[in-house]
Amino acid sequence: MNLVSMPATTIETKINKWFHLNDDALSQIKDSLQAEFELGLRDEEAASIKMLITYVRELSLGDEIGSYLALDLGGTHFRVLLVTLMGDGSEPKVTSVTHDIPLSLLRTQNGHELFDYIALRLLEFVKQYKLKRRRISLGFTFSFPCKQYGLTQSVLVKWCKGFNVGGVVGTDVVRQLKDALKRQLAGLVEAYIDVVAVINDTTGTLVACANKNKDCRIGLIVGTGFNACYMETLDRCEKWPANYTNPKQVIVNCEWGAMGDHKDRRELDKFRNEFDEQIDRDSVNPMNQTYEKMVAGLYVGELLRLAMLHLYNCKLLFATSNSPSCCSARNRERGRLTTTKSTQSSSSASRVSPQSGQQQQVTPAQANNPRHQSKSKSKSSQTKSAPNESSSGSNERHKLNVKDIMNGKHLSLLAKDEQAGSFEETIKIMKELNIQKYSESDLAIVVRLGAAIMQRSANLVACGIAALLDRVQRKFTVIGYDGSVIKYHPYFLARVVEKTTKLARPDNKFEFIQSSDGSGIGAAVVAAALHKERRPLYVVKPGKLYEMHLLRSQLQQSQLSFGEGISPPLPGMERVGSSSSRASSASMLSSVGGSSGQGTPPRSPSLRRNNSKIAPESSK
């Protein structure tokens, strides 16, 4: 980048000290990640990276057909989607609505309020798109650390990404959503929303990408948050709770944002700077999500703000505003840089040239010439007006003290200037921050800070990807990615690829492919696969009618005797085809039985009483 030379070696030294990680440091981080992977697959409680089992064992076959709902909750907004899959490899038809979550609900102590709000918006969507009188399967993308006991049971381990909602940690988020739907249903719609699976955004990203590319084995999210998942073999997953039937694999949700959290290890502390530590202290979850706070879009803007504020307080940034290189407000509006003209009164025997900065002699004849005096007054007037415009608001009223005023988008804009060799976007950011006085050197420092922060972020992402590539042990692996940072930052992905190539083993060939809305379409694909493979059976006992859900594979393999040994329906399963039954039955994506509601193995294939007419579900 050839904008202007850095004004002081001290500033560059500071920036490197804060954000530069050499290859030896990155190799140490990669090794620490691999050690945590092993520990997490063996002993979840002792590991900071939990390596959570998703129970998703097979990837999409690409032949799913029909319309399915998806609910995507993973940040400060959520989406409701209606996804129509064609089954022929073509792009699915997607209709979606996005809702912001009010700040009050991000910190509410009553979790019911959050889920009631989501359920109400979901039911409004159903009504708006005329899904009344339909039973429709829903895939729920919930992108927070959870312990899963099956495809429809997921217990929240902890909040992150700025959430701190009471009454939810330690509870089943699927049950929270179902209960909220029941509370909000009253007369709004005549529809039954069947929550058939809960996944997180990384799993959805992998599934959606694998729907198009069969070599996809890793899912990566770098956006508001930061996480990855991958396909693991069962023989290397010591905590796998059930049988080893085919396919002998399962998607593992790493939840690696927590790398460095363990109080006795704190592997990343020696690589953090003072701004990382301050962000952690001021966050809603101190001493948690250490790795994520060094990478994710939720935090990089704050890193930039704190670094700029530090340099400003040290008078190393925005301290040269009275120099001839200070920018005028009028030219800032035109998006280009000028130097402020400085003149003295024409009555003096000399004036300063704005071009050379040296004194220019004025002859007596010129001084007495009315035309020259008129020009001098005009220039003097123009010269005085520019500083007044640029300093109409003092830098003392800057907004660098406002927490979270900048975000990942600002870093992308700085990178755009870095590539273009201009300050157009940087100047706009100065206006947002109410910084009235600055020089070209100041702008160059801000751009340099943004570049250093994002380079470190990309390097840390590469550490994780290289560790996973070494683990999956494939000759060629596709990494499906999603998230605002990796998608929209001008060169972030290129830096990740470059550093991953250096850190991974040479025989690990790979390619990054952008996933097509993994958190939305991925959830719908999982829901479609479950819907396609369900085969209801009806069993009549004296005075009772039960519905039993089995997989096609189970129907082919199992020799069941429907007699006195059949368990009665579980409490609360009064509706035919209620999604609760899936917690105690296997699925196409997971041949392992889910839990019966308390994290325990199911008693037997679930049966349910049905007092209505016998009518098997129709597969879409």
Using H for helix, E for strand and C for coil, what is the string for 386-416?
HHHHHCCCCHHHCCCCCCCCCCHHHHHHHHH
CATH code (residue 157): 3.30.420.40
* Domain total of the chain: 2
Instruction: Give the per-residue pLDDT at 172.
Output: 96
Instruction: Give the per-residue pLDDT at 295.
Output: 98
Could you tell me if residue 89 is inside a domain? Answer: yes
Instruction: Give the per-residue pLDDT at 63.
Output: 77
Instruction: Give the per-residue pLDDT at 188.
Output: 55
Instruction: Give the per-residue pLDDT at 187.
Output: 54
Q: Based on the domain organization, do 171 and 282 belong to the same domain?
A: no
d(CA 551, CA 593): 11
- Strand order from edge to edge, sheet including 135-142: 93-100, 77-85, 66-73, 135-142, 192-199
Cβ atoms of 192 and 185 within 8 Å: the answer is no
Could you tell me if residue 4 is inside a domain? Answer: no
Cβ atoms of 332 and 427 within 8 Å: the answer is yes
Could you tell me if residue 347 is inside a domain? Answer: no
Name the helix (H) or strand (E) containing 339: none
Among 391, 417, 433, residue whose Cα is nearest residue 304: 433
Instruction: Give the per-residue pLDDT at 396.
Output: 79
Instruction: Give the per-residue pLDDT at 147.
Output: 86
Measured from the Cβ of residue 98, the count of other Cβ atoms closer than 10 Å reads 11
Could you tell me if residue 325 is inside a domain? Answer: no
**Domain hosting residue 247, numbered range:** 52-260+516-533
Q: Based on the domain organization, do 166 and 272 belong to the same domain?
A: no
3-state secondary structure of 10: helix
Q: Structure tokens of 611?
A: 């007092």
3-state secondary structure of 138: strand
Could you tell me if residue 414 is inside a domain? Answer: yes
Q: How far is residue 155 CA from its own chain's centroid? A: 20
DSSP assignment of 164-210:
--TT-TTSBHHHHHHHHHHHH-TTT---EEEEEEEE-HHHHHHHHHH
Beta strands in 44-115 (DSSP E): 52-53, 66-73, 77-85, 93-100
Backbone angles phi, psi at 37, to 5 degrees: -55, -50
DSSP assignment of 111-122:
HHHHHHHHHHHH
d(CA 302, CA 549): 50
List Cβ neighbours of 38 (8 Å cut-off, separation of 6 or more): none
Q: Based on the domain organization, do 90 and 139 belong to the same domain?
A: yes
Could you tell me if residue 585 is inside a domain? Answer: no
Instruction: Give the per-residue pLDDT at 570.
Output: 34
Instruction: Give the per-residue pLDDT at 59.
Output: 85
Q: What Cα–Cα distance (Å) separates residue 58 from each residue in 114, 162, 241, 388, 468?
A: 32, 33, 17, 67, 19
Q: Based on the domain organization, do 279 and 423 belong to the same domain?
A: yes
Instruction: Give the per-residue pLDDT at 319.
Output: 84
Q: How far is residue 188 CA from its own chain's centroid? A: 33
Instruction: Give the per-residue pLDDT at 320.
Output: 63
297-313 and 274-282 are packed helices; what angle lies between their axes, rounded to 10 degrees? 120
First-to-final CA distance of the chain:
55
Q: Based on the domain organization, do 245 and 292 belong to the same domain?
A: no
Cβ atoms of 518 and 204 within 8 Å: the answer is yes
Q: Based on the domain organization, do 255 and 300 belong to the same domain?
A: no
Q: Based on the domain organization, do 163 and 284 belong to the same domain?
A: no
Residues of the chain with pLDDT under 50: 1-7, 321-368, 370-392, 535-541, 543-620
